[in-house]
Structure 1
């Protein structure tokens, strides 16, 4: 099992999960994070840290549509190891449904 960042992360980018990851398996895009499944050790410490509840185990059906996207973009985006600043409007986006259409394939800044 591994963990997957889902669409709930889009436009939030709280990054609390990054601070607790013992293997630095998070990668940052323009408007969301992803987890490299080959680096994730399945410890699960990131899941409860996410204020947007965007991180799910890959065994959860809600993670399935995002698992391949995590795999693909974790090889294209820069690694992130520190929390940094979240967007000023992150709280406004936190509980909005249907953010998948807003996904950006562009890399972010660690």
Structure 2
């Protein structure tokens, strides 16, 4: 990943996370209703498909979990991701999210290693 790609992904994560917390309140409430604490959680990736389904990836820096989600007709499906390589091809932004951990003083022994 080039430095430019890294910076682009970093900006994308910051913008998506801000949208989730301030504007995409329906999505935010669906996530919270599933007992997901959004404190220190990044929206790493997001897209809508041709059928109107919303897809995305959440990474919680505090509790060190990755969740893939799909939303359709105001119903959300959450899938826990145990290994980074399960989603790293679809969401290369995840590697950038791991680097953002440094800012938040996370316990490095609990970090999923992307390699």
Q: Greater RCO between the two (CA within 8 Å, min separation 6)?
A: 1
How high is the TM-score relative to the length of structure 1? 0.29
Return the structure number with greater helix share. 2
| Larger relative strand fraction | 2
Larger Rg, first or second structure (1 or 2):
2
